[in-house]
Chains A and B, each alone.
Chain A
Amino acid sequence: MKSKTIKVDYLARVEGEGSLYVKIKDKSVVDVKFKIFEPPRFFEAFLRGRNFSEAPDITARICGICPIAYQMSAVHAMEDAFDVTVDGQLRALRRLIYCGEWIESHALHVYMLHAPDFLGYADAIRMAKDHPAIVQRGLQLKKTGNDIVALLGGREIHPINVRVGGFYKVPAKRDLAPLAERLKWARDAALETVRWTATLNFPDFEQDYEFVALHHPDEYPFNEGRLVSNKGLDISVRDYDDSFTEEHVQHSNALHSVIKGRGAFFVGPLARYNLNFNRLSLLAQEAARSAGLSPVCYNPFQSIIVRSVEILYACNEALRIIDQYEKPDSPSVQVQPRTGTGYGCTEAPRGILYHRYSMDDTGVILDAQIVPPTSQNQKTIENDLWQFIPKHLDLPQEMLTLQCEQAIRNYDPCISCATHFLKLRVDRE
């Protein structure tokens, strides 16, 4: 009986820290454990007893990369509980700030974290020596996203201008003009990004996934819609807990999400794209087709192209919003707390982010639940490795390890959100 061990103590180019253990025996994978062992941070526990208005700023602290997603899911859940509707230009500004977060998060992942895998570099630093112009383009794209978040959110990291009912302060139309100039450059750069990522080599790997994303009748989803899947799921966000559940597994401090009765599912750019292709702007649809993507893509390695298509869409959408913007009379609508439970689910860069809060009649939070996208993808990441490794067992150890890491990075896992820390270890027996 022959066994083998591949061990990587620290998997780089993911947000946060965790580990992965793989055991191979007689050319078969016998164990895969995606371990997340940082202690939970108990955000849900210390939200209890706080005022509803504090939830956007407290939950934004969960992640330095996607704070807008946390703020958006929090405000939508609160507004659902208090029967408040935010529409018109305030709703548009929410989409605009979300565009900024998608652009900065996706640009970071495409250029700095994922591209080195495809081009055979250990990291973006070494890649920059051979491809300085490409890396510069990535940095400038990311900066454009940062600029949107900083302008609307008050600052780039942990923005402070979002509130239940709208914003604390809204920009004048002229404040957005410089952003539009940068976005026109970014739109061209994003188009180049789609073309460039399409030239990369992709392992032949497709699985029968259940993709889950928001779906809206009129728009590519950021903040609102029904939760749908390619296998028949079609529910209101309010019914999330009826269809999904979280399971504790011994090797991870982050809970594994599953669809009740069916198991693992897939959230994030690839899921959004597959379920909403015809809601993309025509420019983004054409770019995707020219890049060789069909409207449905089952290869997670090609998520780097899909992320690039979403950067292009976000630039386009941001320009559309800025063009049609008129400063609203008030930066927020009136919110009157009342006893109840509210549900919010928005599309974070990495996939759906679900929040549920119960409040008393004064707006004090009695109970909170937060399900980040990486928790939802954990089981699918493990499943991918179960399927991917047996097909590539003939690869040299180092190459197989790198491809396992690349397969994990397909999901842009944010372990800081789910909890923390990623190390990779593969045992061959």
Chain B
Amino acid sequence: MSKRMVTKRSAQNKHGILIVGIGNEYRSDDAIGLHVAQSLKKQAHGYVNVIEKSGDGTAFMECWENAHTVILIDAVYSGTKPGTIHRIDAHAEPIPTNFFHYSTHAFGVAEAIELARSLNQLPGHLIVYGIEGKCFQAGVGLSLEVERAAQEVLTRILHDIHSAARPQPS
């Protein structure tokens, strides 16, 4: 490995890749982001920082300040089949605000991303995984469809991490 590559990789260390699981553990499928984040904590490498958040949008903007690549995971409700995985590259398209309809926050995930875009504060890479929820009632535990989707999302994120961590050709 060339010296230049080593330097590049160490620059990404610690805060290089940030994974943010979002949700409310007491709102059934809304907890999916937290579940995926907890699994990733066990499987991801040391240079990946995995955190959990409740959905207050302004808090995301603070947490990703030093990250180059950010992956957000949250439950969505857009009317598609429960368990459907939506993968959005925030640099390629805006975030549909109606996706996060079930957030109780007046300023939630979609708003934070779009505000960061307005202020030129988006991280270099921002991927949002939205998993279509089935049940958002008070209670603990995921529906079967969402639980199945969690495994698939986990695999895809590990692939994203691998790609993001791979040194770019100089």
What residue in chain A is nearest B26 (Cβ atoms)?
Answer: A61
- Residues of B within 8 Å of A416, CB to CB, are 104
Q: Is A333 part of the contact surface with B, judged by Cβ < 8 Å?
A: no
Q: Check B115–A12 contact: CB distance below 8 A.
A: no
Q: How distant is the Cα of A124 from the Cα of B110 in the complex, in angstroms?
A: 12
- Residues of chain B in range 107-125 having any CB-CB distance to chain A below 8 Å: 107, 111, 114-115, 117-119
CA distance A17 to B107 in the complex (A): 13
Q: Is B13 part of the binding interface, using a Cβ–Cβ cutoff of 8 Å?
A: no
Contact at A64–B118, with CB atoms within 8 Å?
no
Chain B's closest residue to A130 (CB) is B118
- Alpha-carbon distance A15/B107, docked complex (angstroms): 8
List CB contacts (< 8 Å) of A263-301 with chain B: none
- B147 in contact (CB, < 8 A): no
Given contacts A125-B118, A156-B59, contact A112 B104 (CB under 8 A): no
* Proximity bits, A101-126, B CB within 8 Å = 1, else 0: 00000001000110000000001111
* Given A41-B138, A113-B106, A420-B104; A124-B56 close (CB under 8 Å): no
Range class of the B interface residue count: 20 to 34
Interface membership of B105, Cβ < 8 A: yes
Tell me, in angstroms, the Cα distance from A126 to B118 when the chains sit together.
Answer: 7
Q: For residue B21, give the distance in angstroms from its CB to the closest CB of chain A.
A: 13
Name the segment of A136-144, A191-199, A226-234 touching the other chain.
Answer: A136-144
A259 sits at the interface (CB 8 A): no
Residues of B within 8 A of A (CB): 26, 53-56, 58-59, 61-62, 104-107, 111, 114-115, 117-119, 138
Chain A residues at the B interface, C-beta cutoff of 8 Å: 12-17, 41, 61, 64-65, 108, 112-113, 123-126, 128-129, 132, 135-136, 139, 142-143, 146, 156-158, 416, 420
10 contacts between A and B (CB under 8 A): A12-B106, A13-B106, A64-B55, A64-B105, A108-B106, A124-B115, A125-B111, A135-B119, A142-B58, A146-B59
